Amino acid sequence: MIKGSVPYTLCRIEDDSSLTHVSQYEDIVDAVVGGVHQVEVEDFDFSYAVYADGKKIHSLDDRYDHDVDELMA
């Protein structure tokens, strides 16, 4: 796998839409896995997003939003 030269940043999306830096990763897969762990195990009350160069590239819904989406599908 080719590693990106830009680190990926995992951020928690706060209730007021501000971002809190959680961790950085060199690989997008590791960043998404870290976000899924945060949402599903550590802190399922908040949504998380992965950023690269200040741009959101992936978002992970909190457990409540995820459950609602599954029920509506």
Interval 44-69: pLDDT, tens: 788 899 999 989 998 887 666 666 67
Rounded Cα gap, residues 2 and 55, in angstroms: 20
Contact call for residues 30 and 23 (beta carbons, < 8 A):
no
pLDDT at 4 over 60: no
Q: What is the pLDDT of residue 62?
A: 67
Domain ranges of the chain: 8-72
Interval 9-35: pLDDT, tens: 999 999 898 999 999 999 999 999 999
pLDDT at 5 over 70: no
> 17 — phi, psi (to 5°)?
75, 5
pTM: 0.75
Contact call for residues 8 and 51 (beta carbons, < 8 A):
yes
